[in-house]
Structure formats: C-alpha cells, structure tokens
Amino acid sequence: MAAYGLYTHIQSNRHRSIALLIGLFFLVYVLVYAGALVAVGLSFNADLPTLMQIAWIDLLKAAPFATIGTLIWIFIAYHFHQSMIDAITGGREVTRAEQPRLYTILENLCISRGITTPKLKIIDTDALNAFATGMNDKQYSITVTTGLLKRLNDDEIEAVLGHELTHIRNGDVRMMVIAVIIAGVVSFFVELVFRLWFYNGFSFRSSRDDRRGGGAGAAILIAVALIVVAYILSFIIRLALSRSREFLADAGSVELTKNPDAMISALRKIEGRGELPGATSSVMEMCMDNPREGFGELFDTHPSVDSRVAALVKFAGGRDPGPLPGPLALPPGDEAQGSDQENEQGSEQDNATGDQTPGPWGPAQAGGGTAPDLSPSGTGGNAPADLPASGPWSAPPAAGSPSGAPTSPGDGPGAGPITGPVQGPWGPHRSN
C-alpha cells in the first residue's frame, strides 16, 4: 500500500516492522539448523545430502525448545528490561517536585493528544540525549540527561519530548525492545555455536578424519555461512527498524508542537554530543541520536542529523541554523536564574549582618525597638519637629473649652469655642 500522508506512513512502517520482526524471529531457527549441521558434520561420516537431512531432523526436534527458550528470554526482558537499562545508564525516576518544568511540558503534550503521561527519568551526565522505553502504558518512560535540560530551552525540550512521545504512540518503543531482545538471542546463538566449534570442533577433527567423508567439510562451511548471514541480517533488520522510525518521530514531534524550528534547533544541539557513558550499542539504538558512526552511513543505526534536518526543512518549512561547533553555552534563562540566586544569597547575608537601609524616619533600631509615636496629640516625645500638633482643619483647644469641642480656626478674635451653627463647606448646618 502506497503511503501519502503522515498517518499512512506510520501504518506502513508498522506493517513493515512486524514483518521484519517475524523475519528476525525466523533467524533463530536458521541458527539452530546451522548448529545442528555443525554437530552432524563433526559426528557422522556421510555425504552432504545425508548430513543436511539429519540436521533437518535435529532442527525439528530442537525447534520447540528453541521457541520456548526465546519466549522465556522475551518474558524476562519484558518485565526487567527497564531495570537493566537503568542499571547500565544510571537513570533514576524523578517526581514533579524535583522537575516541575519537565513535568509541565510533558503533561501539556500528553493532554493535547489524550495519552497517558509516561514516567520521567533523569541521567546525570553532560551528554545531550533522550530515549523512550517500555512495553505498555504502565511501563512507558522517557529518560533525558541533565546536560540536555541545562542547554536546551523550553521549546527545544518540548520538541525532544514530542519526539519520544511519538515513538510511544507509534509503537516503535515496543518493537525496538522486542527487536533488541531477539537480536540478542541471535547474537547469543552465534557466539554459542562459534565457541562450540572453535573449542571442541578441532579436537574432534584429528580423531575423526578417517571416518568423515567429503560431505562433512561442506556441511560445516554451509553452517558457518548460515551463521554469518543470520548475524548480518539481524543487524540489517535492526538498522531498518531504527532508521525509518526516526524520520516519523521527527515529523510527529512537529505535529504535536507545531514548531519545526525548535525540532531542528534541538537536533543541531544534540548532534555529536549524545554519547552516554557506559551505554551498550542496544541502548544507543533507542536514543534520539546515536553518535557512534560506522563506515559512512552504511552501518549507522540512525539517519544523519543533516538528512533529518533536510527533511524537516523540506516538508515542515523549518529553518536550519547549521551545525553548532564547539561546546554549547547555557541558555540566557539559566544564567539569569543563576544571577537571581546570587542576589538572594547576598540579601540573606545583608540581613544576617544587620546592614539595613535607613527608613523615612531614620535608621532602623536593632533589637526590635518600639515604633515611633506619630499621634497628632504629640503625647509621644519622638514625633518629628515639623509635624503639626493639630489637624488641618482645627487649632488646639482654647483655654476653658471642653476637650474635643469644635473650635474656630485661626489666632484672631474669632478663635475659640463655636457657639453658633457650624459653617460647613456647603453652607450652615440646619438646626433640628
């Protein structure tokens, strides 16, 4: 089925991924047959067709055990893969109180698409990278590095989280975990067969050369060729799964955030700075960027950042600032935050030493002194000298007048207690 839009591309990639996983699982039986062919070639004296027929019978007998062993391997990895990845990378789960900025950005993205918010984990390293893991809604988690949080702004972090959320939405995380598990089984069988051949095969050769016909050598060569082909195919399948999903995750992030420039800027900052110390190749395959390069791009698990940015510029209309050489500086927001913290610390030190700015009535008194008495009656002895002893509309009560009786302002002959109607601002008051 031809793919024309983002969602048809996602469906096409999912169907292709399922087919690749089935082929990857089929490689386990190829390795079992190759191992049986080696064992038959070292044990029987017969021609090649007979040896291949005996090896086929041994495959049919061993196939149930190989299937059960692979399923047990998958079951163990299904439940414990996150713990193993955390043990390798040093990731730890964080709470909202520890990373409110990260939680807020992630929850906004999840609410916009109605999906369950995955767990958040942090790796304490200066590397800039992120990856998603999990097999179901209860296990899904997104892991980011502290270096990424320090050097990316909020828009760029939102783009990175949108990229990893798209992996979860598209089912890429589940398929990659299964692919890594099955590829691990293939690698285990390859190593087992070669160990048996190199450590035990030559010991049989000298004692059984007289009993072996010409078919034994050909059978062993065919077995070795099958092992090599199976190992190369498992690696190619993993590459196919990794490369195709990265372009779709970038596009899905732009769909979530509506900000292709932030996705491009994040990729440029992460480019070449994502090496996780101590991480295996399987873990790096799940990361947003894998700086471990092969021969050109032939054996790279991720498409180059240049090709991913070119796709975003072409199809999403983003702007490419170009590669960013050298170490990255902290964003201006983080520097401002640091200066604010320094100012707060300085003010705390000033308060501790008692160096305070004088107020409008003079320097503050140490030891919690009493507040100045600023009452109009002037009973307190600490009122300012220029403060009038009376209100703006009245003079001090004249001698012989009752305290608080209204008086006529001024110092002339009319000063004293008021005996007639009080003259207000709108005319004389009416008597009852």
Q: 215-257 vs 260-270: helix axis angle to the nearest 10?
A: 130
**Long-range contacts for 10-15 (Cβ within 8 Å, ≥24 apart)?**
10/170, 10/248, 10/252, 13/170, 13/244, 13/245, 13/248, 14/170, 14/171, 14/175
- Residue 278 DSSP one-character state: T
Is 164 assigned a catalytic role?
yes
- Residue 316 DSSP one-character state: H
Q: Is residue 328 within 8 Å of 151, Cβ to Cβ? A: yes
- Residue 422 DSSP one-character state: -
User: Of residues 93, 156, 158, 164, which has the active-site annotation?
Assistant: 164
Label residue 168 exposed, middle or buried (CB < 10 Å: 0-12, 13-18, 19+).
buried
CA atoms within 13 A on the CB side of 6: 17
Longest dimension (CA), the chain: 150
Alpha-helix runs per DSSP H in 258-354: 260-270, 281-285, 305-316, 332-353
CA distance 342 to 348: 10
CA distance 428 to 421: 6
For 134: left if phi > 0, alpha if psi spans -120 to 50, otherwise beta; the answer is left
Q: Do β-strands 407-408 and 130-133 pair in parallel, antiparallel, or remain unpaired?
A: unpaired
CA distance 228 to 222: 10
Which one, of 124, 83, 122, 115, lies nearest residue 99 by Cα?
A: 122
CA distance 414 to 427: 18
3-class secondary structure, 145: strand
Q: 154-169 vs 172-196: helix axis angle to the nearest 10?
A: 70
Phi, psi of 81 (to 5 degrees): -65, -35
Q: Give the residue numbers annotated as catalytic, written as ranges.
A: 164
